[in-house]
Chains A and B, each alone.
Chain A
Amino acid sequence: MIFEVLSAGLLTTVQDLGRWGYQGKGMPVAGAMDPQALKIGNILVGNDPGEAAFEITLMGPTLAVLEGEGLIAVTGAEINFTINDVEAPLWQSVKVQAGDTIALSAPKGHGCRAYLCVSGSLDVPIVMGSKSTYLRAGVGGFNGRALKAGDRISTGPLKPLTWLSVGLACPERLRPKRELELPLRVVLGPQDDAFTEKGLKTFLESEYTITNEADRMGYRLEGPVIEHKAGADIISDAIPLGAVQVPGHGKPICMLADRQTTGGYTKIAVLSTPDIAVLAQRIPGQTVRFKAISLEESIAATKAEREQIEELLRLRASYRSRRVVPVGSPKPRGSERWALRVDGRTYDVIVEELD
């Protein structure tokens, strides 16, 4: 497919799971702010889970399909989603074709970031191993920048069996939980010993409000001051994804996808991996509370989230084998493609006549 951007929305960028491997050189990772939602959307449209899609912030874009046909799915934030002005379902793959207009307007429920995933993913260059856009250095994605009206962007080649995924929906139980009342789970450290007992208590028992300084780099929070033992400055070290940094003013800053790789402020805790997106789906004015869990509990939560992706992949395999039908087009003369399900796995079988 080829899309033309009719209107770009507030901030629409191309993101995959991020540019890992260069943090030691000072290169921020970037990548989807809600990776679970991205993975689900990709699975629904027949892609591998980590492929690149559009990340949409609050107000979405309007796109025209200029050429071709394919599957799309919108996941993440509850956003208004229409195809040719008719409401379309979220968390489900739907077919679009040349002449269609896809519109993602204002949010209609909770969430800050939605993902528009497309079959074949987006055909932008892989820069240093990733298609993610890192805006501050203008690296990756679509020319290193957010989309704007008039841009044209193509999709890549379809994965085998893509068409069999049409209509596949992510069941409610496999959608990530993003409710507002959820506390954000954290593992204390690496510098929790830089805070007084009172400071730690304040951090874990207070409510913090997300300020207007909340973007892909990090979320600054407003609320009770967290007391240090003796100063907030450390010799710069690495800032992990989801680190809760507390500078001298005592207010926490949660460091997200576009964060700097290193920094010189104490980090009281790090968000549990699944809860990073719980925060990233909130908007300024909303509140957060932190809840300390053990490292083992946090790892278990991360594994559970990963297992949901595995389950959705199994569900897709079974959905695709609901019937055995010829797939794929165009096909070479005298050949057939079939989806065959054997022992719970789906195989893409190509049958060709030999001379």
Chain B
Amino acid sequence: MAEYLEPKVLYAGDSAVTIEFGDSIDIKVNARVQQLRQFIDRGQFNGVVELVPTYRSLTVYFDPVRVGDVAPFFERLKKLAADTKGEVPKGGLIIVIPVCYGGEFGPDMQNVIDHTGLSEEEIIKRHTAVDYYCYMLGFTPGFSYLGGMDESLATPRLKEPRKVIPAGSVGIAGKQTGIYPIDSPGGWQLIGRTPLKLFDPEGQPPFLIDAGMWVRFRSIDRKEYDEIASQVAARTYKPEILTKSGDAK
């Protein structure tokens, strides 16, 4: 069973509660998480501190002193959760992430070629062909868990993880693909790099990707990479954001 008949209210201490919709990674379950988050974000709950959407649940952090009596608070959350629908909203936002594939930015491209039997050209074609759904962020600041990769690209992680993977690296780990927002250790097979900063503490806003958005990779050459990188450094670069129907927003 992927989706529960009734959302579950899971106690998560005296300052948080988790509303869980199902027990699988499923875009329809996640759509309910995003809907509940939007309901609560409208500000109808006194004492809510922040919301953490994940694959199949929403954790609501609250101030127990401001909330007062938690039982009716949990009841209202549960009712609101039950009213959500498992429909992927039309007109979702797509953020376009330019990626320079292969070469010095994709040191593991050969591993992926060897494992999948596909050419570099074909790998890039398939990696840029679909829109990836961002289920949630976590692991490091700004790291997005993306779903929807063409399974023919699946490649196991490196046997020996790297000590430092540069920020912006795009990689494959098993059936997952992702982007490293900050320098961090890791075992993903690196196939390219984006000049964009997915996490910039001084940025307005500090994060480019949000849960519930779609991510589309666009292949760029080294010259364009350098141009975008200098615009990013000068804070003049505006990321390309489209709506799911294809219109620019």
Contact = CB atoms under 8 A, between A and B. Distances in A.
Interface of A: 20-28, 127-128, 136-137, 139-140, 187-191, 235-238, 240-243, 260-263, 267, 270-273, 295-296, 298-299, 301-303, 306
A49 to B, nearest CB: 13
B64 A303 contact: yes
B54 A28 contact: no
Given A235-B55, A243-B12, A26 B206 contact: no
Contacts of B61: 20, 23, 240
Interface residues of B, number: 44
Contact of A26 (B16, B20, B49, B140): B140
Contacts of B201: 127-128, 137, 139-140
A189 B57 CA distance: 14
A298 B142 CA distance: 32
Contacts of A235: 23-25, 54-56
A238 B145 contact: no
B211 A24 contact: yes
B59 interface: yes
A140 B202 CA distance: 10
Interface in B1-57: 10-16, 18, 20, 23-25, 49-57
A303 to B, nearest CB: 6
A25 B13 contact: no
B120 interface: no
B13 A272 contact: yes
A330 to B, nearest CB: 35
B12 A240 contact: yes
14 contacts: A20-B50, A24-B211, A128-B201, A236-B136, A237-B18, A240-B61, A241-B13, A242-B13, A262-B136, A263-B138, A270-B13, A272-B14, A299-B64, A302-B65
Contacts of B56: 235, 237
Contacts of B24: 235
A25 B24 CA distance: 21
B14 A295 contact: yes
Given A271-B13, A295-B11, A302-B65, A261 B50 contact: no
A291 to B, nearest CB: 14
Interface of B: 10-16, 18, 20, 23-25, 49-57, 59, 61, 64-65, 70, 136-143, 145, 181-182, 199, 201-202, 206-207, 210-211
B57 A238 contact: yes
A31 to B, nearest CB: 13
A262 B52 contact: yes
Contacts of B141: 22, 25-28, 137, 139
B47 to A, nearest CB: 12
Contacts of B139: 26, 260, 262
A263 B55 CA distance: 11
A217 to B, nearest CB: 13
Given A22-B206, A23-B61, A303-B65, A240 B138 contact: no
Contacts of B52: 23-24, 238, 261-262
Contact of A238 (B54, B140, B182): B54
A276 to B, nearest CB: 9
Contacts of B15: 240-241, 273, 302
A124 B20 CA distance: 39
Nearest to A234: B23
Closest 10 CB pairs of A and B: A270-B13, A262-B138, A238-B59, A189-B11, A190-B10, A298-B14, A238-B52, A26-B137, A240-B16, A27-B141
Given A139-B141, A306-B65, 8 more contacts: A24-B210, A187-B11, A187-B14, A235-B23, A237-B56, A237-B57, A243-B12, A270-B14
